[in-house]
Amino acid sequence: MEQFIINIYAEAQKASALSSTTRTWLIVSAIVVFVIAISFYIGVVIWSKKLRKKMNLQAQKEAMIQIENIRNDVGVLPLEIQDYLKAKDNLYDIEGAINTVYRNNYQNVLVLAKDHLFSFASISSKTKNPIFYDINDLDYQTFSKIQLEFASEFSNVVKAYQDQELDLVIAYSCNMLPSEIYDKYFPKLINNGMMIIKYDKKHKKDFNALAMNLQAANLDYEFNYFGTKFLFIAKRTKTEVANNQNNK
């Protein structure tokens, strides 16, 4: 009987050891699977970003070919004004806005550029139609000095905005939140007009709230880039966009 009990105890110890070993292997296996899954996910994210970048570059090349057919000074900005102002505006942000005006043949353009005077000056000097400004969001006194100092750059007219209908609103910086810009100027856009608002992390919550409202309204919008990040909002619904694509 005593030997029987000893045998049972020995078997129990073996079972306990086996159980412990099994648990260890299960934990190790789970960790390995987790690491593989994370690695796969990271790989997919990196691949997706590279693919999007490649597609964006291709789209940019095609867009530039189209622009060059209607604009003979692509990439040429009044850099002497940039030096004069000691401005640090992103040149791709400026070039992207100018090309947007040309590609869509926008006539009435409002530029909000409280802290981006060089951007405003560049757009007004490189586009053919009058550019509007908000009297509360432009250092007009400094801009007037620039016009006198670099008179050859400014054949275009700038006008104070007075509730005219608009084709395009470009907001680099102003005294309003993104949602306030939208509320004030989006109703002034013509059908298929566009609003472009420079993204600022300081207003992340407001941008997110605005995006949710745009989604709820089924409006065509996206966060995308010129040189830095912008919110692009078209005055048309996603349904209209889909219908137009289906009719092509």
- Condensed to tens digits (0 to 9), the pLDDT of residues 140-172 reads 999 999 999 999 888 888 999 999 999 999 999
pLDDT confidence of residue 143: 94
Tokens of 131: 């550019």
Q: Are residues 129 and 191 in the same domain?
A: yes
Question: How much is the average pLDDT of 213-240?
Answer: 90
Closest CA relative to residue 176, chosen from 114, 97, 108, 88: 114
Q: Are residues 108 and 202 in the same domain?
A: yes
Which of the four pLDDT bands, split at 50, 70 and 90, describes residue 129?
A: confident
Distance CA 158, CA 173 (A): 18
For 165-213, the pLDDT digits (tens) are 999 999 999 999 999 999 999 999 999 999 999 999 999 999 999 999 9
Q: Are residues 89 and 33 in the same domain?
A: no
pLDDT confidence of residue 35: 72
CB atoms within 10 A of CB 104: 13
Distance CA 101, CA 129 (A): 10
Which of the four pLDDT bands, split at 50, 70 and 90, describes residue 128?
A: confident
CB atoms within 10 A of CB 99: 22
Which of the four pLDDT bands, split at 50, 70 and 90, describes residue 248?
A: low
- Let me know if residue 62 belongs to a domain: no
Question: How much is the average pLDDT of 22-49?
Answer: 68
Q: Are residues 137 and 186 in the same domain?
A: yes
Which of the four pLDDT bands, split at 50, 70 and 90, describes residue 36?
A: confident
Give the containing element (helix H, strand E) for 189: strand 189-198
- Let me know if residue 73 belongs to a domain: no
Q: Are residues 13 and 112 in the same domain?
A: no
Strand pairing report for 131-133 and 109-113: parallel
- Residues constituting the chain: 248
What percent of the chain shows pLDDT beyond 90? Answer: 54
Q: Are residues 196 and 107 in the same domain?
A: yes
- Let me know if residue 202 belongs to a domain: yes
Mean pLDDT estimate for the chain = 82
Distance CA 90, CA 72 (A): 21
Q: Are residues 130 and 35 in the same domain?
A: no
- Let me know if residue 64 belongs to a domain: no
Question: How much is the average pLDDT of 81-109?
Answer: 93
Domain with 20 in it: 1-51
Q: Are residues 114 and 233 in the same domain?
A: yes
Number of separate domains in the chain: 2
For 70-85, the pLDDT digits (tens) are 555 555 789 999 999 9
